[in-house]
Structure 1
C-alpha cells in the first residue's frame, strides 16, 4: 500500500491533529497519507454534549468510515473515546501526550483567583463546571459549545469573562499565547485521557495495526491513560460525567511506578471525593479498576448520577 487514507473531522483542531499524525506516518512508516474529511454528529448538532449522551458523538462516524472502508485509520482526541472496545476496531497507537492540564483564557489577563465574584466563566464540561463551583470563588458558570475560535470569541466579545479549555488543543493550533492561567491539577483534574490522541484502524488490518503500534505508540502515555480510563469505566461514567483523573509514570526505588489521582463531584461541586492509588506500570488497568471500585464503595455513583442543574 503506497497511500493510507486518514479519516478526520473537519474542525481546525481535528485537521491539525490529523495533519501532525499524517506527517509522523509519512516520516516513520515511509508511506503517503491522504486526509479524508468525515462529518460527525458532534460537528453538526449544537445540543450540549451531555444531552447528546456525551461519549462517542465525535467518534461514531469516523469508526463507521473505517468499517465501511472509506479510510484506513483515524485520529481522535482520546478523551472522546468510549471506554468500551468497539468490535472490528483496534486502538493501534497512543502517541506521546501533550500537557493534559485545563487552562483559563480570561479578559485582561486575569487568573481564576483574580476574577471578581460574579464573573461569568463558560465551559461545556460538567467536570470543569463542578470543579469551578468547588473552588468557592463565587463565579457564574455557564454552558459553552463550538470550536476553539467560537469559544475564545465569548471572551473577546464580552459575553464571558473567561472560558476553560484544554491546553493541548491550544498548543496544537499554536494559540498558547491566549492562555492567562494553566490550572494546577490540584485545582482542576483533567478529563481521563485529556491531552492524548488515539489512532484507530480496522483490527483485521493486522500489519497496519502492528506498524502504527511500533512507530507511534508511547508506552508511558498508554499506561497513564489506560489507568485513567479504567477509573471512568469502573465508575460507569461517560465523558460528560463530573469525573477527573490523571496518572503519571514516575521513577520508583526498583522500577517505574504509576501514580493515579481521581475526583468525582456532584454537579454543583458542593460534594467531592478525591482519591489516589499507585501500582506497577504493567498493571495500569488494575490500578484504575481498584481506585474506581474503592470510590464506588464510598458512594461515588450517587454523586455522578445526581441530576445536573441546568446551565444558562
Structure 2
C-alpha cells in the first residue's frame, strides 16, 4: 500500500483553496494518506480581463490540466461549471462529490428584490447567462462586468458602487463568507443555473494507479454524477461553451429525473425553454462498488444520462435555440 502524500493541484484563489481543502480532508479520511495542496496559477487568475475576453470556456482549467499531465500533481479539483464539456485527452473525471446548493443568489444592501430595483440601478455579473436572466426579470437595470474574489465583489455593493451582484450560493457556502448583505436566492425552476453549478469535479490521469482511482471512487456521489452528466450533455448538444447564455438544472426525485433548460437571447424575453421529466431506474444512481462490473454499470449510467441530455438539447434546437447563441459564446 502506498503511503506517500497525495498531491492535489488547485488554483490559488480563496474559493479554489477552500473547495480543494474540503476534498483533501475527505480524501485523507478514505485513503489514510496525507494530502498536499499544490498551488497552480492559471491565465484566468493572472488576468483581470472579463471572462468573455479571455475566451470563457476552460480558461481556469487549461494550466491545471497541463500540470497534471506533467506530473506536477496527482489530481485536480475543479468547479465543474468551469470545465469544457469535451473530454480532456489523457485525463479522467474520477469523482463528483455530493452537490452543494446549485442556486444563484442576488445580494443587495437593503434587501430590495431584483424585480423591484429602480430603473438605472446597477447589477454586477460577468456571466452572459446571468446578464440575460437579470435583464429578463428587470429590463430597467444596468448590468456591469464583475471580476475579482467574493470579498471584493461584495465590497462594491457595500461601498455603493453597485446596487446588487449575482453570485453562486455554493461558493459563498464553501468560503464560509461573512455576509452582511441581504441574499435573495433564485428559484432553479425559474432561474436555472450553469451546467454543473454547485458541483466539484475531481480529475486525474487516465493511467493513474489503481489504488488512487479506487480511493477517488469513494468520493463519488452517483446522483450528482448522473444529474451533471445530463446538464453537460445538454450544453454540448446545443454546441454552447460553459459561459454561453444557457441555464440548465437536473434534479433526481425518487425514480424520476426532472430537467429544465433555457437558452437566452440578447433581448429580454428572447428565450427557448424545455422542461422534461424522465423515469429513472434506481440502478443508475446506486453506488457501483468496484471491479469490472462496477465499471460496466457506470458506463451504462453515463450512456443513459448522456442520452437524456442529447434529447433535451435536440428539443431546444428544434425550438430555435441555435439562433440565440452567438458564435462568441458557442466556442
* TM-score interval (norm. to shorter): over 0.9
Indicate the residue corresponding to 1:259 in structure 2: 258
Residue 65 (structure 2) aligns with: 63
Residues 1:212 and 2:213 are matched in the alignment: no
In the alignment, is the contact (CA less than 8 A) between 1:266 and 1:306 conserved in 2?
no
> 2:189, 2:260 within 8 Å by CA — same for their partners in 1?
no
Superposition misfits of 4+ residues, deviation over 3 angstroms: 176-179
2:176 aligns with: 174
| 1:38 to partner: Cα distance | 0.1
Which one is further off, 23-32 or 277-286? Answer: 277-286
Instruction: Give distance in 1, aligned partners of 2:252 and 2:167.
Output: 24
**1:275 has 2:277 as partner:** no
Structure 1's 61 and 88: CA in aligned 2 closer, same or farther, altered over 3 A? same
Q: Does 1:191 align with 2:228?
A: no
> Structure 2 length normalisation: TM-score?
0.88
Confirm whether residue 231 of structure 1 aligns to residue 230 of structure 2.
Answer: no
Separation in 2, partners of 1:199, 1:306 = 30
* Offset of residue 127 of structure 1: 0.2
SS of residue in 1 equivalent to 2:53? coil
Render the CA deviation track for 1:66-119: whole Å, top value 9, x for unaligned.
Answer: 100000011000000110001111000000000000001112232213322221
* 1:1-312 map, 5 Å: 1-2=2-3, 3-175=5-177, 177=179, 178-207=181-210, 208-213=212-217, 215-251=218-254, 256-279=255-278, 280=280, 282=301, 283-305=304-326
Residue 268 of structure 1 and its aligned partner are, at CA, apart by 3.2
The answer to whether the 8 Å contact 1:93/1:217 transfers is yes
The offset of 1:244, in angstroms, is: 0.4
Give, in angstroms, the shift of residue 120 of structure 1: 0.5
In structure 1, the partner of 2:297 is none
SS at match of 1:216: coil
Provide the rounded CA distance (Å) in 1 between the counterparts of 2:112 and 2:81: 28
Once structures 1 and 2 are overlaid, which stretch shifts more, 229-238 or 51-60?
51-60
CA deviations on 1:178-200 (whole Å, 9 max, x unpaired) are: 44211112332100000000000
Alignment root-mean-square deviation, CA: 1.5
| Structure-2 separation of matches of 1:211 and 1:10 | 24
How far apart, in 1, do the equivalents of 2:26 and 2:268 lie? 41
Shift of 1:31: 0.9
Distance in 1 separating the partners of 2:64 and 2:115: 40
5+ residue gaps, structure 2: 285-300
Most deviating of 160-169 and 200-209: 200-209
Q: Distance in 2 between matches of 1:108 and 1:179?
A: 6
Q: Secondary structure at the match of 1:50?
A: helix
Question: What secondary structure is seen at the aligned counterpart in 1 of 2:135?
Answer: helix
Quote how far apart the aligned CAs of 1:175 are.
2.3
